[in-house]
Structure 1
Amino acid sequence: MIEPLTVYTLPNCMQCTMTTRALDAANLPYTVIDLTTDTRASDLMHQFGYTSVPVVVASVVSWSGFRPDLIAKITALRDHPSPAGE
């Protein structure tokens, strides 16, 4: 099972909306954190060098911007997990 993703967003962000819609369409669980209301999260994103939103954090990968290719890869991993130990 795929752990829920975390999506760091800003209000009125078109790429954020496109990302959450793609995650919904792929039936991937996620939590949204609004960077305008969570200053600690905002500081953390800057510390990691992200300068644009959305920032999506999965268990082993993170990215910024609308990345349907990476959403598709996570969906494929969920749908076709590799056997343990490979």
Structure 2
Amino acid sequence: MNKLIIAALAAATIGACTPREENTAAGALIGAGTGAVVGGLATGRAGGAVAGAAIGGVGGAIIGNATTRDRVCVGRDEWGRRVRYAC
């Protein structure tokens, strides 16, 4: 059962389309795992582990999203001026 869960989590991380989505998913997974362990050890109950996983997952997703740099490309417009755009 544990191997199935690990495989599903790995597939969720790999299934993201952009680097921002990949880092957000990876941050959420790492945060949820860490939060579940800390919550479970701190309270000794399954409810603490669930709460820790929820809080850690949200925090990890926020951090993973915030630490991803935006991709900016530089090109020329129709008048030859340099322009920057998201790519």
TM-score w.r.t. structure 2 length?
0.27
Higher strand share: 1
Higher helix share: 2
* Larger-Rg structure: 2
Q: Which has the higher relative contact order, 1 or 2, with Cα contacts under 8 A spaced 6 or more apart?
A: 1
- TM-score, normalized by length of structure 1? 0.27
